[in-house]
């Protein structure tokens, strides 16, 4: 079974998980990336069972619109029932490392606005300790040097993601070489650096449920 097939299986399992919760007033939060794209494609089949979605990126909003699924501005949405998104790494406490696609800030905002956060991954994303995947940090452009020097103090090697601007008009520093022993503490400490908009550790508001698809089938954490 390919990785894409496993991503699709996780996305389909998320549909099975959320379908009983939906009604005509429900708003579904939708993440960003290839696994989230598989979720969007599967969501199209049940689009008449809920009201609308909120998207964590322009790319996901475009894909949802392409399926004829309504997309609301978060400020107009009221209560978001559930947020479904992929991740770059997941640990045993359902803490996540996210932002490989650069949408981490809006992902964290929509996740925090939702009653429930369901993360969908294939088993290659499961780790004992977060940090082998470079940690994305969204930074206001004028603070790039200041933030990079502070991240070196944390023991990381920041690399400016070239030719990339976030949906919010900022840059991304990908931080290599971090072993994230205490995810909530590092998440807060990086957020305290002036110029940091958001970082890709999702630990203070970890996933409520992780759906993992492997060659053996689908299991939950």
Q: Which residues bind ligand 5RP (CB under 6 A)?
A: 31-35, 85-88, 98-104, 107
Strands 82-85 and 27-30: what pairing?
parallel
Cβ-contact 55, 30 below 8 angstroms: yes
Query: What's the min distance (Å) between Cβ of 25 and ligand 5RP?
Result: 27
User: Smallest Cα–Cα separation from 199: which of 91, 105, 134?
Assistant: 105
Catalytic-labelled residue, pool 107, 153, 163, 187: 107
Q: How far apart are CA 28 and CA 43, in angstroms?
A: 10
Quickly count: other Cβ atoms within 10 Å of residue 94's Cβ: 17
Nearer Cβ to ligand 5RP (23/135): 135
Query: What's the min distance (Å) between Cβ of 219 and ligand 5RP?
Result: 18
3-state secondary structure of 196: strand
Nearer Cβ to ligand 5RP (14/104): 104
Is 107 in the active site? yes
Nearer Cβ to ligand 5RP (15/146): 15
The dihedral over CA atoms of 27, 28, 32, 38, expressed in degrees to the nearest 10, equals: -140
Q: At 196, give phi and psi (nearest 5°).
A: -80, 130
Strands 135-139 and 196-199: what pairing?
antiparallel
Nearer Cβ to ligand 5RP (39/50): 39
Query: What's the min distance (Å) between Cβ of 153 and ligand 5RP?
Result: 25
Query: What's the min distance (Å) between Cβ of 48 and ligand 5RP?
Result: 26
Q: How far apart are CA 13 and CA 122, in angstroms?
A: 12
User: Which are the catalytic amino acids?
Assistant: 107
């Amino acid at each position: 079974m390919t990785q894409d097939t496993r991503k699709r299986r996780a996305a389909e399992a998320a549909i099975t998980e959320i379908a009983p919760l939906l009604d005509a007033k429900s708003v579904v939060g939708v993440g960003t990336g290839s696994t989230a794209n598989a979720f969007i494609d599967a969501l199209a089949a049940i689009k008449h069972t809920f009201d609308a979605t909120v998207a964590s990126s322009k790319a996901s909003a475009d894909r949802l619109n392409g399926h004829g699924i309504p997309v609301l501005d978060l400020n107009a949405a009221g209560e978001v029932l559930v947020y479904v998104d992929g991740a770059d790494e997941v640990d045993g406490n359902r803490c996540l490392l996210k932002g490989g696609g650069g949408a981490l800030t809006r992902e964290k905002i929509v996740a925090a606005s939702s009653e429930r956060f369901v993360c969908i991954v294939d088993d290659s994303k499961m780790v004992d300790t977060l940090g082998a995947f470079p940690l994305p940090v969204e930074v206001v452009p004028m603070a790039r040097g200041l933030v990079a020097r502070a991240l070196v103090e944390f023991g990381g090697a920041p690399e400016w993601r070239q030719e990339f601007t976030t949906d919010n008009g900022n840059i991304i520093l990908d931080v290599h070489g971090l072993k994230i022993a205490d995810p909530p503490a590092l998440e807060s400490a990086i957020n305290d650096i002036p110029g940091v908009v958001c970082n890709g550790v999702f630990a203070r508001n970890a996933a409520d449920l992780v759906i993992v698809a492997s060659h053996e089938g689908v299991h939950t954490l």
